[in-house]
Amino acid sequence: MRRPLSFALIGLLSYSACVLAAEPVAGPQISLSAQARQTVANDQALAVLYAEASSANPQQVVDELNRQGQRALDIAKGYKQVRIASGNRSTWPVYDPNDKEHRNQPTGWRGRAEWRLESLDSQALARLVAALQPGLRLASLGFQPSGPTRQKAENALIPAAMTAFEERARLSAQALGYSKWRIVEITLNGGGMPMPVQNLRFAQTASMADSMPIAEGESELSLQASGRIELLPSR
């Protein structure tokens, strides 16, 4: 997943590109890109838990999901290191396909609500997940670099990405018989995906969660420099 980076340097590069692009085109242009990579620790744990309810009365479904949500929020107050937030929530009618006479009338209602947990303390998050069960079920658990960790790594990748772009530009120009070139435009984009853990059987008690080893792993972050160069005639 790529996303734009908010660096002051990008603003300067964009400004320079606009100035350069305003000059008359003197030669052919080449679009190219180069990338720099770095492995960083997944220091943030993420978990999604959910509750489901069913009833003949839609209000009872809503009330049950609200009850489970309030219980989760009350328990989470004891875990200051963990942030909890409400996620997706939906309620829908259930129909009986075999009842042709009343097939347009719902025979019941179902609902599902999710809550998202985030923490820099994976053991604290594990204890909270255990405390929220069996009322809530674990949908997914994953790890990713936190915002500050990602930002620091991406900042460190800027020089490497720019150097790689310049080297590729030099080689491209040289391959076409040009010794001079200039940057017309250039942009920087970062990428990296969190590491999911699928089908995890989580601890059922807080004491079990304390003793359960959790491997956060690492993620590979990348910074791509993309742009165009203009090949200049030798003078």
Chunked mean pLDDT (size 10), the chain, 235 residues: 42 41 69 94 95 95 96 96 96 84 82 97 95 93 92 94 96 93 92 48 45 72 95 85
Cα(195)–Cα(42) distance, integer angstroms: 8
Encoding tokens for residue 103? 């097939």
Single pTM value for the model:
0.66
Residue range 44-144, CATH number: 3.30.70.360
Cα(109)–Cα(218) distance, integer angstroms: 42
User: Domain spans of the chain?
Assistant: 2-42+146-232, 44-144
Helix 122-132 vs helix 58-76: angle between axes, to the nearest 10 degrees? Answer: 140
Residue range 2-42+146-232, CATH number: 3.30.110
